[in-house]
A and B are shown apart, each in its own frame.
Chain A
Amino acid sequence: MSTPMLSIKNLKKTYQVGDGEIEAVHNITLDIAEGELICIVGPSGAGKTTLLKCIAGLLAPTAGSIELAGAPVTGPPKAMAVVFQEYSRSLFPWMTVRANVELPLKNAGVSKAERDTLVDDALEAVELEHMPQSYPWQLSGGMQQRVAIARAVAYRPKVLLMDEPFAAVDAQTRADLEDLVRDIWHKLGVTILFITHDIDESVYLAQRVIMLSNSPTVVQDDLTIDLPDQRDQLTTRSSKRFVELRTHVYEQIQIAKASKPTGVTAIQKTSKR
């Protein structure tokens, strides 16, 4: 078996709060193969964002390890890009759309000619090639998130992390953006880890859906989505198999929500002294 693109082993993350601690992630073990599109879904407060920040190298795990293509993640890896939920806070408001997409490449020392091609292609991929000189705040929420996606795409990462990227956009835009993600995934062959609280979204997008339990967080279930590769909002979502799969995920999430964490309380207060 070849090395997985992303390998998470016994990941645990606790936060210090006063002289006690809160456990956000209890124990997660997960392998993601190269080119996979995986959705992680879990009830709110399940530590999804904490998990993503650990994988992105933004937070140091309390215990366990994360490896990207065999190399341990100790800080934000070069081969990774992240799209955050808060698009209005993740784009630089003092830069034009084009400058936003270009900055990571410029910073990485990519030549001007190559940069231009990458930026043009990325903006075209998200259908924003007609407004490179606009500022992010002049655009709608959905368009701003497209800019953030274009920036990630232009960076050519091996792994693309997305943290509930469409939670704050309207339903129609959301459907378009979901198709955009699958489209980009097909074109670039990038490994995508997509975090969401939306069950339908996870089933529609993914090849594999990972369900997280309630806090303290562990992997509740790992489901392969055997829907055809060509998906569209209308037929896929109304297919019998889709309904079965979403029902399964829904049930697991309900179990996760209902189950009172055993042995440990959700918020562990342990005195240091």
Chain B
Amino acid sequence: MSILKRIAYFVGLPLLLIIMWWALTLGEPNFYVPTPAQLITTFWEVWAGERFATDFLPSIIRLFIGLIATITLGIVLGILIGSFRWLRSLTEPLLEFFRAIPPPVLVPLFILLIGINDQMMIFVIISGSIWPVLLNTVEGVRAVDEVLSDTSRTYGIHGFSRVRHLVLPAASPQIMTGVRQSLSIGLILMVISEMFGASSGIGYTIVLFQRGFAIPEMWSGIAVLGLIGIALSLISKAIEARVLRWYHGVKEVQRDS
């Protein structure tokens, strides 16, 4: 597909929905639903101004730190748990237990234990979004091809070298699947932790606007979240295109034959 065509596909449906929204809000103004023009002006006023530094950036920094920690921790623990059967047996019941706890209920607990601060919110993000990366890494490590593993052994590739040259790349397709899921969970938890206990951030701002009946402003906050979501997905796709180039190549060859 040419670049132009891809852009057309990318913006086509959103554009159509905005036009419909515009047409539906043409008549009597509705207090709870702003028009597209209203939203765009409000969006600009709110998020390009002071709130960019006081609320947008803190949220992004928390999200960024939370996700980097999640991915690093998830991959490291996943490789360890996936590599050793005894560790897997030992941790399995515990992992099942913690995985089943809906992360938002940890917010009040973390507020008590850590206090209302950035660390608390970062912990909430990690505690909820680590599971997809962790569990997918474990599965990816366990599924390393037997012949490839034998080959590495015969050439004396052990320990760190084995992780770097065999385990990590072999598990990377599954790890990326986990990372993609973790990104969206991380975003959700960032907002939830900010709604509960924060004095800054996008989640805090949205609640503040809603309570003050600043309806277009509230909508603009929701739009910011959607845009962050798109940005995260574009970043992860770009990383995946680099890291998994070989994987997509193999898949293509298998499809052709």
Q: Is the interface of A mostly helix, strand, loop or mixed?
A: loop
Q: Which of B119-165 contact A (CB under 8 A)?
A: 145-148, 150-151, 153-157, 161, 165
Say if the beta carbon of B169 comes within 8 Å of chain A.
yes
Q: Which of A150-205 contact B (CB under 8 A)?
A: 155
Say if the beta carbon of B249 comes within 8 Å of chain A.
yes
Give chain B nearest CB distance to A24 CB in angstroms: 16
A78 touches B145 (CB 8 A): no
A137 touches B250 (CB 8 A): yes
In the bound complex, residues from chain A placing their C-beta under 8 Å from that of B116 are none
In the bound complex, residues from chain B placing their C-beta under 8 Å from that of A93 are 246-247, 249-250
Say if the beta carbon of A89 comes within 8 Å of chain B.
yes
10 tightest Cβ-Cβ pairs between the two chains A and B: A104-B155, A89-B147, A94-B246, A94-B169, A82-B154, A76-B154, A90-B151, A137-B250, A86-B147, A137-B253
Contact of B165 among A53, A76, A92 (CB under 8 A): A92
Number of interface residues of A (CB under 8 A): 26
Residues 242-257 of chain B: 1 if any A CB is under 8 Å from the residue's CB, otherwise 0? 0000110110010000
Quick one: given A135-B246, A137-B246, A137-B250, are A104 and B150 in contact (CB under 8 Å)? no
Say if the beta carbon of A138 comes within 8 Å of chain B.
yes
Say if the beta carbon of A80 comes within 8 Å of chain B.
yes
In the bound complex, residues from chain A placing their C-beta under 8 Å from that of B250 are 93, 137
Give chain A nearest CB distance to B103 CB in angstroms: 34
Residue of A nearest to B243 (CB): A94
Q: How many A-B residue pairs have CB under 8 A?
A: 65
Say if the beta carbon of B166 comes within 8 Å of chain A.
yes
B148 touches A81 (CB 8 A): no
B150 touches A58 (CB 8 A): yes
Give 8 A-B pairs besides A53-B150, A93-B246 with Cβ atoms closer than 8 angstroms.
A76-B156, A81-B154, A89-B148, A90-B151, A92-B169, A103-B155, A107-B161, A135-B249
Contact of A108 among B150, B156, B169, B249 (CB under 8 A): B156
Quick one: given A137-B253, A138-B253, are A104 and B147 in contact (CB under 8 Å)? no
Give chain B nearest CB distance to A189 CB in angstroms: 21
